[in-house]
Amino acid sequence: MNEEQKSAFDAVEKINDELFIKYDKLNTEDGFKDWLSIMPELCITFCNGKISISLSIPSENYLPEIYLFNSEQDDRIYYKKSDKYETFYKFIKRKFIEIKKEIYEIKL
């Protein structure tokens, strides 16, 4: 595993842990019996040196996975001064916010 893959894996693992803690707290506070069935989960795939990160949202309507990152089309913010891309952790958190905003803007 190269450095970029390790960084992506660590970010996915950290956010999945944060999601678990949040949904476990909901379970404790609300007494919701099946909280795990609604907990979103980040999935990461490594193939031929490429990275793909997606968000899986369990639902009764079988929602498709939402792709957040594909290393072939890296849309992380690039910082010219430091010659680095934003961290995967910040990127994924930013994508979550963007997705939430887009969902809230849907008018039916």
Give the C-alpha separation, 80 to 35, whole Å: 42
3-state class (DSSP) for residue 68: strand
Mean of per-residue pLDDT scores for the chain: 86
* Contacts of 49 by beta carbon, 8 Å cutoff, 6+ apart: 2
* Contacts of 20 by beta carbon, 8 Å cutoff, 6+ apart: 39
Mean pLDDT confidence for 53-68: 81
Give the C-alpha separation, 32 to 19, whole Å: 16
At 44 the pLDDT is: 93
Give the C-alpha separation, 69 to 53, whole Å: 5
pTM for this entry = 0.80
Check: CB of residue 27 under 8 Å from CB of residue 108: no
At 32 the pLDDT is: 61
What are the residue boundaries of the structural domains of the chain, listed by start? Answer: 3-104
At 5 the pLDDT is: 92
